[in-house]
Structure 1
């Protein structure tokens, strides 16, 4: 069955990149617009300093919760649609904040603004769908760099607005920017038809949202409440328990909110781990530099700049991120995204070490911050590329959403760490205490360590020679009863960069019709270049995105089954057959005793660590057969209870059917 999308009006590539990048800039502005006024909000809203901090915490929490949910919905219902939804919610939040006069109203507005955070991962996935292949790298690098330029512009802009207008104008400016993008996105950005089918994982979304809220609330409020207070500890424990419940739920759901198995692949797992560390290092730069520039000259190290001047001092750092975007894309094209990530992390680490010793002059502080931002630009541009090369094309938005979420955890941890260090290492300045110079140096050392750790993690990343690597088979393959498979569906996609892209869907099953869980379908061009891959869900369904109709090599593999390869013509309305695995791999053998075959002997397979894997009994001829487990070492044990005989042997499984015969020892003599 084939469904063809109607032709769409195609916007020029530079215009698409510009609109998406401006959306990214708006995200960064949401994080910084209220920062200069935080010390004044307790008086403006008649509240305490601790309660006023909810103006930042509320945005952090909603962005963390919204990012994975919106990203998943973007893969399922349409990426442009979810960008429009996020912009509408952000504009609504800005209007609520602009009209609000109480803490509750303004916090509600800030919470709604947090939905804008999902614009980054969704926008990056749109770039993959809509741009020519050779333009994706530079566009993603620019999109990542907008985080820096938005933060750099936000500080002086908010300071200027607060000095020349009422503080409500900050929210009106945010609403106006959002309204412009709400007009531009439907006009410029086409709706991609590369989508994931299935039902939204409501249970997984609720559990993950509760876990993230508990974790980030503990991190962001632990400094106020006390890191050993009951509230903080209860939240950390609740986050751990909820995540422990969420993981097995995601493994059982047909279309999970987060594909845990794919997220556990080295390329994805290590990139996400590096993103947490780099998020820590990046945010430490912004938090410390602005405070350092505003510290009074009487401290002996401060420069006494105003909010506007300190924000202007961060402009070179933000601009450097934009200037480095094409450089990071060039490094990725020439040497690969792994090298780009390592290079950026090392630049950040080196720049922070330099900042420890170069703090005497204003230009040294500004240049040091700019060098850190350069490293941030290079490393941040590499992470979405690494993620998109390691996940199925139909999962790019949700995978980038998870990566963005983990970066947010890194930035939240940096915020808490910076606050703890700056309030813990202080000096007296008249009647007040202010952070000592050593406090800033300690933060720089911590950020340098985070950068070095990110580089070390990146070194362990596997190298990828092409954009869509063929994945390994997931362990734990098993069969499950499900409805009869449906015929594959082909959905043609039109776009400026992917003119004839199609999505092919089908089911992997055994000859009996039972779907094979845990199977992986890899699609390659006839010349061997990887195209896309898909891990089947619990019903055996798969889907892959192809660059256009044509002849492809389709490789299907699953633990415990002999792999299958087919050369198929896909996309021209062809109704190709289901992918059927016919040969079940097994571990077989003969159980013998001194008196012949051991009929009915119990045969068990265990891991060397003691876990039971499978068991069966020998037939009348003494033969046994067990489903072949995943590759590894096992202990095969045979027990003949009637004759008090038992024997074990070590078995190494390599992915092929194995034959292992076992000779039982003589019967054990029982002493009277």
Structure 2
């Protein structure tokens, strides 16, 4: 009888994981599928190059605003319920985008899709609530890796999809996945019994939205408007001022949207710092490596690759991210998530140095993209595990949401700075000079190395004790480290 009950529980967890993976994978695809084919969308919607970038910016802004809010609502109202709602928003946005014939409709569709950004923190919360504790690190690591895998696959698949069908299928295909995930979540995923009574503090939500919009618009438009322009400087100043006000209001609120005490836990803020630096490198690489590979060799560098061929050259990154995601949880249990993060960041640094200093042969690109897959996969999964372990169960959604948000901010900043460096000097043909890419890749390598340095300051997370009961968290101090002890996950910080 015990065996049959255990088997039934295991099957239920497997089904839940598949549903979560499909939903998160579809969300990740929507992040990147449109990036390589923006010129195609620009021509189809009869708009300018400057205006079509809002197809990306609108999605980014919306996701940044809604991810922590939806995560908080999940902690309060039920993670399954909010997961289904987030998937419905993704589905509605994808349907509208697939049918869009004008830029304003496409932008509205992308804003609606951004509401679905909450699927990631909600998935982490569902895993923490519903899975056996010994399986949480592996499941969280693989779901976290899926976001990076999906983003990488989007760049790989965009060309073949547009060539074989048309750009509308960049939204139809994720829509099919989202619909299946929504149905699966509604009927197969159990609702968590762990909820936190409370309400959304809309003042702090508005303040959070305001400084995020100001900051992300500034860094997204800086390469076009100029970093020294009045508009960019004004937006950055506004973001800083509103951000300070937001922190002060949250700290004094009896019902904060984001608990500042939680954000001050050493394991949380150091991991968020690592996420910011990691985001700088990963999303900038996704945006600019295809452009580098597609540069005609007549420019003195590049491979003149088609969209499809450049996707094939980047494919090892997604493949190795997936393979690493399968074992990242076990590695974290054996060696600790902190060490996995540091090692992953160092491997990523080596890969970016190869791209910067040795990028004339195709095998060098394949080696570099394979290594970025390994390094980024390890770092990505370990950060999510650290955040999940570092906060109380009832704050999993909002903490994971803010970590994802901070990574997105890093990505926006990295892409904007990379664009400024790459386009600083151009050839008579209008193409960037090779040194622009070299310097840009060196910058990204420095960011990932600093991510490893930030990882050194993250409190260590002890390994699961054999046979230990980790059902409920207990807080204890052991030289300022996070440790796992019989009876619970110990989340320690010398400042507490």
User: What is the TM-score when the length of structure 2 is the normalising length?
Assistant: 0.91
Structure 1 residue aligned with 2:456: 459
Q: CA RMSD in A?
A: 2.6
- The structure carrying a bigger strand percent of its residues is 1
Deviations 1:297-329 (A, max 9, x none): 212221111111211222211010011123322
Structure 2 residue aligned with 1:444: 441
Give distance in 1, aligned partners of 2:139 and 2:239. 36
Deviations 1:463-505 (A, max 9, x none): 243789xxxxxxxxxxxxxxxxxxxxxxxxxxxxxx99789xx
Following superposition, the deviation at residue 444 of structure 1 comes to 1.5
Give distance in 1, aligned partners of 2:327 and 2:464. 20
Structure 2 residue aligned with 1:83: 83
Structure 2 residue aligned with 1:59: 59
Give distance in 1, aligned partners of 2:42 and 2:286. 23
Give distance in 2, aligned partners of 1:285 and 1:502. 39
Deviations 1:67-103 (A, max 9, x none): 1100100100111111111111111111111222111
Deviations 1:600-643 (A, max 9, x none): xxxxxxxxxxxxxxxxxxxxxxxxxxxxxxxxxxxxxxxxxxxx
Q: Give the secondary-structure state (helix, strand or coil) at the position aligned to 2:397.
A: helix
Give distance in 2, aligned partners of 1:270 and 1:203. 27
Following superposition, the deviation at residue 21 of structure 1 comes to 1.8
Q: Give the secondary-structure state (helix, strand or coil) at the position aligned to 1:196.
A: coil
Q: Give the secondary-structure state (helix, strand or coil) at the position aligned to 1:193.
A: coil
CA contact (8 A) 2:145 2:377 kept: yes
Q: Give the secondary-structure state (helix, strand or coil) at the position aligned to 1:426.
A: coil
Structure 2 residue aligned with 1:72: 72
Q: Give the secondary-structure state (helix, strand or coil) at the position aligned to 1:195.
A: coil
- Confirm whether residue 32 of structure 1 aligns to residue 32 of structure 2: yes
Q: Which runs of 5+ in 2 are unaligned?
A: 1-7, 478-483
Structure 1 residue aligned with 2:224: 224
- Confirm whether residue 531 of structure 1 aligns to residue 484 of structure 2: no
Structure 1 residue aligned with 2:283: 283
Q: Give the secondary-structure state (helix, strand or coil) at the position aligned to 2:199.
A: coil
Give distance in 2, aligned partners of 1:42 and 1:159. 15
Q: Which runs of 5+ in 1 are unaligned?
A: 1-7, 469-498, 504-520, 536-557, 560-672
CA contact (8 A) 2:22 2:177 kept: no
User: Cα 1:530–1:403, aligned 2, differ >3 Å: closer, same or farther?
Assistant: farther
CA contact (8 A) 1:148 1:373 kept: no
Give distance in 1, aligned partners of 2:475 and 2:154. 45
Give distance in 1, aligned partners of 2:425 and 2:347. 27
Following superposition, the deviation at residue 356 of structure 1 comes to 2.2
CA contact (8 A) 2:21 2:143 kept: yes
Give distance in 2, aligned partners of 1:252 and 1:355. 47
User: Cα 1:153–1:500, aligned 2, differ >3 Å: closer, same or farther?
Assistant: closer
Q: Give the secondary-structure state (helix, strand or coil) at the position aligned to 1:56.
A: helix
Structure 1 residue aligned with 2:292: 292
CA contact (8 A) 1:466 1:529 kept: no
CA contact (8 A) 2:27 2:90 kept: no
Q: Give the secondary-structure state (helix, strand or coil) at the position aligned to 1:227.
A: coil
User: Cα 1:199–1:115, aligned 2, differ >3 Å: closer, same or farther?
Assistant: closer
CA contact (8 A) 2:72 2:397 kept: yes
Following superposition, the deviation at residue 57 of structure 1 comes to 0.3
Give distance in 1, aligned partners of 2:382 and 2:172. 34
Q: Give the secondary-structure state (helix, strand or coil) at the position aligned to 2:39.
A: coil
Give distance in 2, aligned partners of 1:406 and 1:233. 21
- The structure carrying a bigger helix percent of its residues is 2
User: Cα 1:102–1:387, aligned 2, differ >3 Å: closer, same or farther?
Assistant: same
User: Cα 1:523–1:289, aligned 2, differ >3 Å: closer, same or farther?
Assistant: closer
Structure 2 residue aligned with 1:198: 198
Structure 2 residue aligned with 1:171: 171
Give distance in 2, aligned partners of 1:333 and 1:500. 13
Give distance in 2, aligned partners of 1:152 and 1:465. 31
